Amino acid sequence: METISDCCESLRSSVASRRALLLGGASFAAWAYLPKFARAADGRDPRLVVIILRGALDGLATVAPTGDPDYAGLHGAIALSSSGPNAALPLDNFFSLHPAMPEFSRMYREKKAAVIHAVATSYRDRSHFDGQDVLESGFAGPGRVQSGWLNRALEGLPKGERVTSALAVGPTTPLVLRGAAPTVGWAPVAVPQAAEDTAMRLLELYQHRDPVLASALKQGLALDKAAQGDDMKPKPGTTGAGAMRLVARGAAKLMAADDGPRIGALAFDGWDTHANEGGPVGRLAQLLGGLDGALAEFETGLGARWRDAVIVVATEFGRTARINGTQGTDHGTGTVTLLAGGAVKGGRVIADWPGLKPANLYQGRDLAPTTDLRAVMKGVLKDQFGLAERALAENVFPDSSAVKPMQGLVA
């Protein structure tokens, strides 16, 4: 098993590395089919990537309301400032972007990136796991974890050829993409492969004795086959921002191919910044830098397809407006959603800003949500893939007819 220990050297070399915890958990999954889009009419070939940030992103630290008179007091020592060293990057007269995100800032100036602020799912409690379930399942409340909204959206699309260019394998599929529509996954792990003959014999055994495992193995094998000769094996010890970039690069390469999947999801762990969150530099800054790098990898890797791409970055909920006693933030409510991609009608911060006065805070502690995240997702799905409003309200996001798709997010 020498080779196995090679590929897993990261476990040992990162033993003392906090970044391994923060960023090691990164994975990518995509729809296993190539949808039949009517391309002839306008030549568009849309791509959609959903990036889930697990742990609850501090929206007020990512896109800071530096123009709100109450912001600096609430965010205290870790507040961003629009002037001085490490100044936040101005987006408009009111909002500034975290300085660790120069690429997103550039995309924003090029009108290829947008921010939706004071946004939240319909979930109003503060459990990560329930919050993530709501964010990813698309149901109004927790407890429904059989399928995710992106998977149900796929069921509404005309199914084409099976994707054959998937790269390799990774251990799990994010809930958002779990469900009846088959998906494929990839994460940077490298283990020497079993002989094909052994795999075929096992498959035959499973087909007789264990249909569930037969189906799983069959899919796993199809993926592996496509991965032969790939150059995406991770560098030993890759953690942190590098891991985010690496996963994004692999995903972009996969999705850029003519016969590659059009729709995929990534999950990055580690955003639960209870202590020592840091301001312009520090823990969150490193994470945001990794995310920024991942967005840039998509831009580069998708090549000509970037023009028709939308990337949505979302998290389960926000964090407290006021920092806690340990220079961090506890679980909150309203936060930001980021859009990037050539198809985004960008250069805008879309927000019905609730203000940060004590009376305006949700339960006196969190940024009050004024936009339902489902409106954003619906708007993107509608514009990008032409999904009907009714399907969005009934199947993709059940019981959500009151939440109308946000108009004009895609150019």
Residues 131-190 that bind another protein (CB under 8 A): 142, 169-173, 178, 184-187, 189
In angstroms, give the least distance from the CB of 403 to another protein. 24
Binding mask 314-343 vs another protein (x if CB under 8 A, - otherwise)? ----------xxxxx-xx------------
Binding mask 45-74 vs another protein (x if CB under 8 A, - otherwise)? ---------xx-------------------
With respect to another protein, which residue has the nearer C-beta, 151 or 384?
151
* Contact flag: residue 127 with another protein (CB under 8 A): yes
How far is the C-alpha of 362 from the C-alpha of 135, rounded, in Å?
A: 19
The length of the chain in residues reads 411
How far is the C-alpha of 322 from the C-alpha of 327, rounded, in Å?
A: 10
- The secondary structure of residue 373, as a DSSP letter, is H
Of 109, 85, 57, 128, give the one whose Cα is nearest residue 277: 57
**Quick one: which of 110, 161, 210, 352 contacts another protein (CB under 8 A)?**
210
* Contact flag: residue 288 with another protein (CB under 8 A): no
How far is the C-alpha of 198 from the C-alpha of 96, rounded, in Å?
A: 56
* Contact flag: residue 276 with another protein (CB under 8 A): yes
* Contact flag: residue 102 with another protein (CB under 8 A): no
In angstroms, give the least distance from the CB of 382 to another protein. 29
In angstroms, give the least distance from the CB of 394 to another protein. 25
Region near another protein per CB under 8 A, out of 35-43, 56-64, 268-276, 377-385: 268-276
Number of residues that bind another protein (CB under 8 A): 109
The token pair that represents 293 in the structure block:
């790098």
In angstroms, give the least distance from the CB of 380 to another protein. 27
Phi, psi of 344 (to 5 degrees): -75, 135
Q: What is the largest CA-CA distance in the chain?
A: 69
* Contact flag: residue 246 with another protein (CB under 8 A): yes
* Contact flag: residue 83 with another protein (CB under 8 A): no
Q: What SS3 class is residue 34?
A: coil
* Contact flag: residue 18 with another protein (CB under 8 A): yes
Region near another protein per CB under 8 A, out of 64-72, 105-113, 124-132, 399-407: 124-132
* Contact flag: residue 78 with another protein (CB under 8 A): yes
Q: Residue 274 burial (CB < 10 Å; 0-12/13-18/19+)?
A: middle
How far is the C-alpha of 406 from the C-alpha of 380, rounded, in Å?
A: 8
Question: Is the separation of the CB atoms in 133 and 178 below 8 Å?
Answer: no
With respect to another protein, which residue has the nearer C-beta, 300 or 353?
300
With respect to another protein, which residue has the nearer C-beta, 7 or 350?
7
Angstrom CA distances, 261 to 35, 233, 411, stand at 8, 20, 22
**Could you identify the residue written with the tokens 């096992």?**
202
Question: Is the separation of the CB atoms in 185 and 247 below 8 Å?
Answer: no
Region near another protein per CB under 8 A, out of 151-159, 234-242, 310-318, 395-403: 234-242
The token pair that represents 218 in the structure block:
């069959």
How far is the C-alpha of 22 from the C-alpha of 25, rounded, in Å?
A: 7
**Quick one: which of 111, 180, 216, 259 contacts another protein (CB under 8 A)?**
216
